[in-house]
């Protein structure tokens, strides 16, 4: 697949993700896709479907905003920002109604026009703290200084 076609495929998948179109989103992936993310590995589109549906239950309003898409042949990097309110159970954690903002990166490997492997990296500490899975992170000294000068 050509560089521009790979980039367009990622852009379309992001649009389908935001539209909550599970099957449209999954059309990007090979049936045997290998997905690495959130501490485990899933094989096949069924694992991605399960992940997508779990996100929808936990964050019915969730969306991603694409920030960068880089491509080198069959390898595509997609940098995004995740947004969503935790309104349903997710990963065993009851809804908190907290609004989650977390940056992430997806690394895709294509073969014959389909993604055969994807690695998901997201700011797990920020994400998990927002849903109550781990204690809230202390503010950095820089954030405290910004807040005090804004007053």
Q: φ, ψ for residue 95 (rounded to 5)?
A: -55, 140
Q: φ, ψ for residue 140 (rounded to 5)?
A: -75, 160
Q: φ, ψ for residue 32 (rounded to 5)?
A: -100, 20
Neighbouring C-alpha atoms within 13 Å toward the C-beta of 34 = 4
pLDDT tens per residue across span 8-49? 999 999 999 999 999 999 999 999 999 998 667 888 999 889
Domain ranges of the chain: 3-150
Q: CATH fold of 3-150, please? A: Nuclear Transport Factor 2; Chain: A, (3.10.450)
pLDDT tens per residue across span 50-66? 888 999 999 999 999 99
From the list 72, 100, 75, the residue with the least C-alpha distance to 86 is 100
Please tell me the pTM assigned to this model. 0.84
């Amino acid at each position: 697949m050509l560089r521009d076609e790979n980039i367009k495929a990622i852009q379309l998948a992001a649009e389908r993700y935001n539209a909550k179109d599970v099957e449209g989103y999954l059309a990007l992936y090979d049936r045997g896709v290998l997905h690495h993310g959130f501490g485990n590995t899933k094989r096949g589109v069924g694992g991605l479907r399960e992940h997508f549906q779990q996100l929808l239950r936990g964050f019915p309003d969730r969306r991603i905003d694409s920030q960068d898409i880089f491509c080198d042949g069959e390898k595509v990097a997609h940098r995004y920002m995740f947004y969503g309110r935790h309104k349903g159970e997710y990963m065993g954690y009851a809804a908190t109604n907290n609004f989650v903002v977390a940056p992430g990166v997806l690394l895709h490997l294509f073969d014959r026009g389909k993604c055969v492997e994807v690695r998901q990296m997201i700011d797990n500490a920020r994400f998990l703290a927002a849903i109550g899975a781990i204690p809230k992170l202390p503010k950095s000294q820089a954030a405290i200084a910004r807040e005090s000068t804004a007053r």
